């Protein structure tokens, strides 16, 4: 019998059919404006293909980023899918998958379809190693991926001089009716020299983020989800609100906040505009420096210097 994973507080986030039916009933009664599209820019492909020294982060969409760190090209939760279930993607990826530089490392946060897309994995350029949560390596190997390393919470590995730590999140996972929570979920901390990047994956709010901050201490850039939170009574255990995302940023001690998980797929009842508006309102309410919040257009690449207060682009 397959091992079943749980959250740090022992919860599994499995909802009842009655809960699901109640949410769908509420959803049908709502009128939402889905006309807003996240801004996009032409990606700087010349930079991305030539850079092997400067740390960069490029927003592809949803939870997919191209991160360049320590000479490596790293992709998080690679999803270039045009649909999710029966719903079309709200905004196209910021970089075409064919335009990527060769990928060295793929980081997976968990096995939900909007984070783990087989078609995208098979199209990625490069002979990459996949770093995946505990319980997920077998899925990769059965599909022909041989360079796979499985990590449990708080464990670390290194690739080409970059350290990768798998850290807890509060979530759950399922790909079929028979594999609920048979693999784990979490976030990733990447470190090379003074540069430390936190990719939160998918998570509800939890006090465990303070422990992540205490263990790593000098996170320069924090990629944190802000969408798929409505209705909060249903989503709260596995997705955070924009206000909770700001608290997560404070808890981990980040210097720069990059929001994610709000632009591409309609997974809940909130909209991209609502998520961004609430994020900015909470940022301003707390009096946080506006230059530390990077609401990145799709396709945009940002660089930073050794002094994290200096934004280079």
- The reported pTM is 0.95
- Closest by alpha carbon to 190, among 113, 131, 124, 120? 131
In a domain, 136, yes or no: yes
Indicate if the pLDDT at residue 91 is higher than 80.
yes
Rounded to 5°, the CA angle 194-262-5 comes to 75
pLDDT at 85: 85
Q: Determine if the peptide bond prior to 195 is cis (ω within 30°).
A: no
- Closest by alpha carbon to 84, among 122, 112, 106, 64? 112
For residue range 158-188, what is the model confidence (pLDDT) as tens digits? 999 999 999 999 999 999 989 999 999 999 9
In a domain, 10, yes or no: no
In a domain, 19, yes or no: no
pLDDT at 305: 65
Q: Which of 5-14, 251-260, 273-282 has the lowest mean pLDDT?
A: 5-14
Maximum CA extent, the chain = 53
Query: Mean pLDDT across the stretch 31-60?
Result: 95
Q: Which residues constitute the domain of residue 115?
A: 38-303
- Closest by alpha carbon to 71, among 166, 151, 158, 133? 158
Indicate if the pLDDT at residue 313 is higher than 80.
no
Tokens of 33: 């404006």
- Asked whether the beta carbons of 228 and 264 are under 8 A apart, the reply is no
| CA atoms in the 13 A half-sphere facing the CB of 62 | 29
Orientation of helix 208-216 relative to helix 242-252, angle to 10°? 30
- Closest by alpha carbon to 56, among 223, 263, 186? 223
Query: Mean pLDDT across the stretch 279-293?
Result: 97
- What CATH number is given to the structural domain containing 44? 3.60.15.10
β-bridge partners, 223: 199, 258
Indicate if the pLDDT at residue 1 is higher than 50.
yes
In a domain, 149, yes or no: yes
Whole-number average pLDDT of the chain: 94
Q: Determine if the peptide bond prior to 300 is cis (ω within 30°).
A: no
In a domain, 11, yes or no: no
In a domain, 21, yes or no: no
Q: Number of folded domains in the chain?
A: 1
In a domain, 208, yes or no: yes
pLDDT at 109: 98
In a domain, 26, yes or no: no
pLDDT confidence of 208, banded at 50, 70, 90? very high
């Amino acid at each position: 019998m397959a091992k079943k994973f749980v959250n740090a507080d022992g919860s599994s986030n499995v909802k009842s059919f009655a809960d699901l039916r109640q949410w769908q009933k509420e959803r049908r009664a709502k009128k939402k404006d889905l006309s807003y599209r996240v801004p996009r820019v032409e990606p700087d492909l010349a930079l991305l293909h030539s850079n092997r020294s400067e740390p960069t982060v490029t927003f592809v969409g949803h939870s997919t980023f191209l991160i360049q760190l320590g000479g490596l090209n790293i992709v998080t939760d690679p999803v270039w899918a045009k649909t999710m279930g029966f719903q079309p993607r709200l905004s196209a990826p910021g970089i075409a998958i064919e335009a990527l530089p060769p990928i060295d490392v793929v980081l997976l946060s968990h096995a939900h379809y909007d984070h783990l897309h087989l078609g995208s994995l098979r199209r990625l350029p490069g002979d990459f190693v996949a770093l995946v949560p505990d319980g997920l390596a077998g899925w990769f190997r059965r599909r022909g991926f041989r360079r796979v390393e499985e990590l449990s919470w708080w464990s670390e590995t290194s690739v080409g001089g970059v350290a990768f730590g798998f850290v807890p999140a509060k979530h759950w996972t399922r790909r079929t009716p028979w594999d609920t929570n048979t693999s784990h979920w979490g976030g990733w901390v990447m470190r090379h020299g003074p540069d430390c990047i936190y990719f939160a994956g998918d998570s509800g709010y939890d006090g465990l983020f303070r422990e992540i901050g205490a263990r790593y201490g000098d996170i320069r850039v924090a990629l944190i989800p802000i969408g798929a939170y409505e209705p909060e009574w249903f989503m709260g255990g596995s997705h955070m609100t924009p206000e909770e995302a700001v608290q997560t940023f404070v808890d981990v001690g980040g210097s720069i906040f990059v929001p994610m998980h709000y632009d591409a797929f309609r997974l809940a009842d909130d909209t991209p505009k609502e998520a961004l508006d609430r994020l900015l309102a909470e940022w301003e309410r707390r009096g946080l420096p506006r230059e530390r919040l990077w609401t990145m257009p799709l396709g945009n690449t940002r660089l930073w210097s050794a002094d994290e207060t200096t934004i280079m682009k």
